[in-house]
A and B are shown apart, each in its own frame.
Chain A
Amino acid sequence: AQTVTQSQPEMSVQEAETVTLSCTYDTSENNYYLFWYKQPPSRQMILVIRQEAYKQQNATENRFSVNFQKAAKSFSLKISDSQLGDTAMYFCAFMKHADSGAGSYQLTFGKGTKLSVIP
């Protein structure tokens, strides 16, 4: 079974500064997907960014980027120029590739990091 660990239950950052959220995972799979989801106070889950394990290039989406270290099984999220609207719970998640057979449709989540952006 896959596990996802987020070691920082809470973090804070000043507006306009940069913050990095950590995520590690444990798997014996070679092909898989990694995700960061955001859950603001409205509790709506929103996809922030995704990474395919076979791609060495780190994914970026505007102010959001990841540092994917496959050998270390690490997948951190960097938020640049933090904005008040970034205040939310952030969840790291893992999904096996479709070719991996059983369980390949399941998304496994970490316990989340609560990020507060301070004005």
Chain B
Amino acid sequence: DGGITQSPKYLFRKEGQNVTLSCEQNLNHDAMYWYRQDPGQGLRLIYYSQIVNDFQKGDIAEGYSVSREKKESFPLTVTSAQKNPTAFYLCASKAGLGISGANVLTFGAGSRLTVL
């Protein structure tokens, strides 16, 4: 079945360490996204990518980095510069223009990052 796989589901990090969250999709979607979810804050956009080798900052990109070397993959690195990284992270993807349902985001199951 097609879908989005995020790993790991739970991750613990010591302060000062970088950590990378994986996001893989087999939906053949062009666009991919990373959102952060905090209690009472809803979902906030970190980065998004419309095509391979291209990505744009969202509303809260500081302290994060991404890459989009393959259509299927959009890993997110939480760097030591991120002041408050403990949160739930959601990856999503969307079909390109002209495709049926192109305006609908499909989400992964999320990754919970805790900084110790």
Contacts and interface: CB of A to CB of B under 8 A. Distances in A.
Contacts of B78: none
A64 interface: no
Interface in A77-97: 91, 95
Contacts, number: 44
B44 to A, nearest CB: 8
- Contact count band on A: 20 to 34
Contacts of B43: 91, 109
A43 B45 contact: no
Interface stretch (A14-22, A44-52, A66-74): A44-52
B98 to A, nearest CB: 9
Contact of A106 (B40, B45, B102): B45
Given A33-B103, A105-B50, A107-B45, 16 more contacts: A43-B88, A45-B90, A45-B107, A47-B105, A50-B103, A91-B42, A95-B103, A98-B97, A105-B94, A106-B58, A107-B33, A107-B92, A108-B45, A111-B40, A111-B41, A112-B42
